[in-house]
Amino acid sequence: MSIVATIALVVSSTLIYSTPLIFTALGGTFSERGGVVNVGLEGIMVMGAFSSVVFNLSFSQQLGVWTPWIGCFVGGMIGLIFSLLHAVATIHLRADHIISGTVINLMAPALSVFLIKVLYGKGQTDNISESFGYFNFPILARIPVLGPIFFKNTSSVAYVAIVIAILSWCVLYKTKFGLRLRSVGENPQAADTLGINVLGMKYAGVLISGFLGGVGGAVFAQSISVNFSASTIAGQGFIAMAAMIFGKWNPLGAMGAALFFGFAQCLSIISAQLPLINRIPNELLQSAPYLLTILVLVVFFSKARGPKANGQVYVKSK
């Protein structure tokens, strides 16, 4: 295999495995910038993956190649609805954020598998017929060297994720909504005195995280696993949270960290085609993303400074 072909394989595989993490890490960033810790991202991804696969299996004959894209929107909406449980529990009922998120993580796999058995009579779905697959960008794929690496046989939804990461940065740092959301996450009492609807902004942050987390799960199911079972997501939500922390609650930083974790995940898949890497035991490569997640949390969590009021229950002053 030539050097260009090897680099192209690494880049395309990294983009495919990074995309679900980018969407979900961006969702976590919006929630925590509003002061609500969303540990339930794992469960939200599960529901997004489940709903998108069911939609894909049901409507692929009618919608054709647009099925996975619309499936992502469906997964996002189900994730948004599911995150509403976390929002109500933490914002209005003043529940502990970690406990509420843990309940969602425990409930989502059980609920989705139960529904799969009701719908299909077995523990996992069939493979979907319309997945994201590979995409060639017109004209750009013909550029010498760069075209085969970045724009040929690549993931189109990955580039959508990168654009959304840039837009998320603009929303958080260049708009009135982003300024208000960040102020609520830093000092909700001060924001309240300025007339900002603190509870409304917290709800907005959690619901955005639910939508993006659902999209992340839908992308994973429709581009990597291509079916759904209880073990489809398998820790992707927690890796996305590590990416958010590694990226210091910044959309562009979270995207960069997600690309790093995506690269770690794809190594076990493409290692046989990479010089030197193919000598490393596959078991070690498969565990690399989880080991890196633990390492990142140990090294960076104590040093990282998130929003000051993150995880705190807000009680409106009278």
Q: How far is CA 262 from CA 15, 155, 313, in A?
A: 7, 13, 34
Residue holding tokens 């104590």? Answer: 302
For residue 91, the 8-state DSSP code is I
Query: Whole-angstrom distance between the N-terminal and C-terminal Cα of the chain?
Result: 69
In a domain, 140, yes or no: no
Closest CA to 237 of 267, 207, 215: 215
Distances (CA, A) of 76 to 36, 44, 51, 102, 213: 19, 9, 9, 20, 7
In terms of residues, how long is the chain? 318
pLDDT at 301: 64
Amino acid at 169: W
Q: What is the pTM of this model?
A: 0.93
Residue 318 within a domain = no
CA 35 to chain centre: 19
Residue 73 maps to a domain: yes
Q: What is the pLDDT of residue 281?
A: 77
DSSP H or E run through 32: helix 3-33
E-only strand ranges, 91-178: none
The answer to the question of residue 85 being in a domain is yes
Dist CA 55 CA 176 (whole Å): 36
State the residue range of the domain holding 97. 3-130+149-301
Residue 47 near residue 109 (C-beta atoms within 8 A): no
Q: Establish if 20 belongs to a structural domain.
A: yes
At residue 17, the 3 state secondary structure works out as helix
DSSP secondary structure string, 161-174? Answer: HHHHHHHHHHHHHH
Question: What is the chain's pLDDT, residue by residue, as a tens digit (318 residues)?
Answer: 788 888 898 899 999 999 999 999 999 999 999 999 999 999 999 999 999 999 999 999 999 999 999 999 999 999 999 999 999 999 989 899 999 999 999 999 999 999 999 999 888 999 999 999 888 998 888 898 888 889 988 889 999 999 999 999 999 999 999 999 999 999 999 999 888 999 999 999 999 999 999 999 999 999 999 999 988 998 899 999 989 998 889 999 999 999 988 988 888 777 777 777 777 777 777 777 778 777 777 776 666 677 888 888 887 765
Question: Is the dihedral angle over the CA atoms 278, 284, 285, 286 positive or is it negative?
Answer: positive
| Rounded CA separation 223/185 (Å) | 34
Residue with tokens 């077995």: 122
Residue 90 belongs to a domain with what CATH number?
1.10.3470
Q: How many distinct structural domains can be found in the chain?
A: 1
Domain assignment of residue 137, yes or no: no
Q: Is residue 314 part of a domain?
A: no
Q: What is the pLDDT, as a whole number, of residue 273?
A: 73
Residue 136 placed within a domain? no
